[in-house]
Structure 1
Amino acid sequence: MENRIWLGTLCLWENSEQKWASAPVPPMALCRVGSMSTFRSHYTTTTYNRVLMMQLNHGRFMEDGFLILPGFISTEELHELRLGFDVLVQRTQDQSRKDRTPDQPIGGRWQADAQPRVKVDDVVTEETAYVVEYYLGKPLDVSTELLRAERVGLGALGLMVSAVWDRGATDWHRDYCSNTLAPLGGVQRDLAVNDSPYVQWNIALYDDDLFWVVPGSHKNPDSEEMRRQLLMDNRLELPDSFQVSLKAGDAIVYAAYILHWGSPYTSRMRRVIHMGYYDFDKISSFGHQPHYNMDLAFTRNLSAETRAYFEQQVAWTIECRDLYERIFRTALERDGDAFAKQLAEAHPEESCRLVSVAHICRMAEKIQKLCGSQADQLSPEQRGAAEGGHSEELWSDFKRRFTPSEADELGRRFAVMSARMKGDRDRSDAYYTELHRKLSGSNEDGVPNFDTRSLRTHYHEMPKDFTIEDLVSSW
């Protein structure tokens, strides 16, 4: 049984059998999180098992874009979580073999992937229910503190696992796409005013040094030097990048917008708990919500208290969609005053409110494509691109909310902003296509794919000299 004690930005976990006050707290314990070796050296293993201490420095998190939390999982927790996740890994591997297609190796997708993952809600059993409950314990508490939020949702229940054979480095990327959401530059300016809408976690069950980040990149666009490197080779170490070396039980929590890299993916034992938490009261977090499972069948194996959390999250999700619908209805009715009122509810901070309009515009584009009169003519590839990671359940919901003609009209209501963002992206793509040609010394007409993870934020600026009033006047 644990009791949490909050002292400003400092969080102490008190074990009921050993009071935290009995262990001296050295001054260096308040050092900047990120220097794990310095932090760790002031504690013996025994002390660390009974005093789990970390600095939840919101200012440092917003400055660097991440915090490293040494000893986040106690020795006892580590043993239990390893056992539980091993069961879930085995169940996932078994299912992968059953679902194998003729073009896949004998182990199916699991064996083919460079970084196999366990989707916990697909394979959880009654005996492993405590694994799900871990996601709703300390990680949720810390995320709530860092997000400064009241309603925090769990975006995914995942585990990253070692590849079957050595696969090399992955690509540098941000978990964000300017091509399908608001341009990154606007989101970063909003971040400085309204805090992060979403945080992600890596929690190591075994020593892990695969993850790299570029400190501060969550709030800054890529430098021109970085853009050029990503354009030519997105699998090399970037300037000012930092390798995150986690010991078993350590964790890193980071802003999703941060530039990060996995290098290299090998067959060495890897078990990293991976999940995200988002603030339901920030409309800019909606891009991450599709990772949430609205089908609560998996909760039948969970405790009543845990089921209640997921049921509450479904209710919050519906409220979020209701807000979108109210905003869209005001646009359909050409009611600029009501539109402004609903928008203020979604984004109270006025200075960056156009960022939320850009998010809403992107959603209107998708609703027109997937719910409008031409939706049935989309190819599977076109539909997949339009869905942008959101589940079919979301679009079925919006189809119930809007008729095909209303969906078409929504696209027209936001067409002027869509055109501005498309023009900006086209100019950005043209510039970097020409730069790629010059850097590669090639006269061929090859065009870089600006929808790939490394290049999808090269276009990043909000439309210039464009206001909410300009959008409303176009109605």
Structure 2
Amino acid sequence: MASFNHNLDSLKTDGYVILPNQLSSELHKSLRLAARRTRKKSWPHVRTVGKQFPPWPDASTANDVWGIQHILHPDISERAFEGWYASDAILDTVEAILGVKEEELQLELCNMLVNPENTSFELSWHRDAIPADATEEEETEMLKTPNFGTQWNTALVDDECLEVVPGSHRRVRTEAERNGQIEGIKVVLKAGDSVFYDHNILHRAVYPTRPERLTLHACMGSTRADNQRRKTILQHGMGWVKETEFENPRLESLRKRLVVLEPEAVGYTLVG
């Protein structure tokens, strides 16, 4: 427990923490095979090269992609993803980070980040819940909002695509950062490592066409979440969740909590 408390301290101070070797060899192999199968599937819900934020166009109009959305969708039909998202390792970590019990956790996003096949792509520096055009005063207020969720990347092959500015989740941007002059560090993950990070940390990702990237990218929240967090999640198009019932009982409980708590005031719903 003392070691994990150190990890929590690092997350609070730096805005991110690397947890090495979180996967058993058997689960790691199953996830890697499932990820490569999913990468080859014809799937409409993708993140397209050239566009950073949702909504993204249908895959049929995309020349290249940097992410696969909704990998828990029953039509993807890969049980390894379901078991991983609702595993002891993930749920115990999320409970510790958020300071809640499993009964208060809700399903959110579960996607996969991949290398584009033909065109390299870079995301701009950003925070996930604070728009780039926020004034210093607006940013100050938004940074005071309690964080009702956490997000993480789990690398299935070695990954050095994510870059972060340590400690930036606790302060407003400098004038230089507002002008795009940002110096970050690479987050170096070995296959099987996870990085948990604060959604307010300044970060970006660089997507070369090689080497292969197979990184699971997910978030999970508390049922205490406010409307800002729900809006951030629901804008990704979570309508399919309402029509789904998972056989995995822990995952199904997470799903039910999201459906029950669907807000009506954020401009996005689980319908359609």
Global fold match (TM > 0.5): yes
Specify whether residues 154 and 109 from structure 1 end up closer, same or farther in structure 2 by C-alpha distance, changes over 3 A only: farther
Give the secondary-structure state (helix, strand or coil) at the position aligned to 1:206.
coil
Distance 1:300 1:135 in 2: 15
Whichever residue aligns with residue 288 of structure 1, its letter is: T
Distance 1:125 1:65 in 2: 32
Instruction: Please give the per-residue CA displacement for 1:348-390, whole angstroms capped at 9, x wherever unaligned.
Output: xxxxxxxxxxxxxxx5xx6xxxxxxxxxxxxxxxxxxxx4xx3
Distance 1:298 1:215 in 2: 40
Instruction: Please give the per-residue CA displacement for 1:6-27, whole angstroms capped at 9, x wherever unaligned.
Output: x3453xxxxxxxxxxxxxxxxx
Structure 1 match to 2:256: 311
Aligned residues: 251
Distance 1:59 1:225 in 2: 28
Distance 2:76 2:60 in 1: 22
Question: Matched residues, percent identical?
Answer: 21
Q: Where in structure 2 are the equivalents of 1:200-349 lying within 5 Å?
A: 200-229=151-180, 238-239=182-183, 241-283=184-226, 284-290=228-234, 291=236, 293-296=238-241, 299-300=244-245, 302-315=247-260, 317-318=261-262, 321=263
Structure 2 match to 1:142: 93
* 2:237/2:270 contact within 8 Å kept: no
2:17 matched to 1:67?
yes
Report which structure shows greater RCO (CA 8 Å, sep ≥6).
Answer: 2
Specify whether residues 302 and 122 from structure 1 end up closer, same or farther in structure 2 by C-alpha distance, changes over 3 A only: same
Q: Where in structure 2 are the equivalents of 1:188-199 lying within 5 Å?
A: 188-190=143-145, 194=146, 196-199=147-150
Give the secondary-structure state (helix, strand or coil) at the position aligned to 1:229.
coil
* 1:88/1:123 contact within 8 Å kept: no
State the shift of 1:185 in Å: 1.3
Specify whether residues 312 and 154 from structure 1 end up closer, same or farther in structure 2 by C-alpha distance, changes over 3 A only: closer
* 1:211/1:262 contact within 8 Å kept: yes
* 1:162/1:266 contact within 8 Å kept: yes
Structure 2 match to 1:434: none
Give RMSD over aligned pairs.
2.9
* 2:242/2:271 contact within 8 Å kept: no
What TM-score, normalized to structure 1?
0.48
2:271 matched to 1:393?
yes
Structure 2 match to 1:76: 26
Instruction: Please give the per-residue CA displacement for 1:89-145, whole angstroms capped at 9, x wherever unaligned.
Output: 232xx2359xxxxxxxxx7345433x132421335455x223212111122321121
State the shift of 1:267 in Å: 3.8
Give the secondary-structure state (helix, strand or coil) at the position aligned to 1:160.
strand
Q: Where in structure 2 are the equivalents of 1:102-113 lying within 5 Å?
A: 108-109=60-61, 111-113=63-65
Whichever residue aligns with residue 232 of structure 2, its letter is: H
Distance 2:63 2:139 in 1: 34
* 1:129/1:302 contact within 8 Å kept: no
2:112 matched to 1:159?
yes
Structure 1 match to 2:56: none
* 1:111/1:164 contact within 8 Å kept: no
Distance 1:277 1:301 in 2: 17
* 1:212/1:243 contact within 8 Å kept: yes
Instruction: Please give the per-residue CA displacement for 1:431-468, whole angstroms capped at 9, x wherever unaligned.
Output: xxxxxxxxxxxxxxxxxxxxxxxxxxxxxxxxxxxxxx
Q: Which moved more, 1:58-67 or 1:207-216?
A: 58-67
Distance 2:138 2:271 in 1: 26
Instruction: Please give the per-residue CA displacement for 1:252-275, whole angstroms capped at 9, x wherever unaligned.
Output: 000111110112432421100001
* 2:70/2:111 contact within 8 Å kept: yes
* 1:89/1:118 contact within 8 Å kept: no
Give the secondary-structure state (helix, strand or coil) at the position aligned to 2:93.
helix
Distance 1:108 1:282 in 2: 35
User: Which portions of structure 1, spanning 4 or more consecutive aligned residues, are displaced by more than 6 angstroms?
Assistant: none
Q: 5+ residue gaps in structure 2?
A: 46-58
Give 1 or 2 for the bigger CA radius of gyration. 1
Structure 2 match to 1:175: 128
State the shift of 1:165 in Å: 1.4
Specify whether residues 189 and 313 from structure 1 end up closer, same or farther in structure 2 by C-alpha distance, changes over 3 A only: closer
* 1:170/1:265 contact within 8 Å kept: no
> Which structure carries more helix by proportion?
1
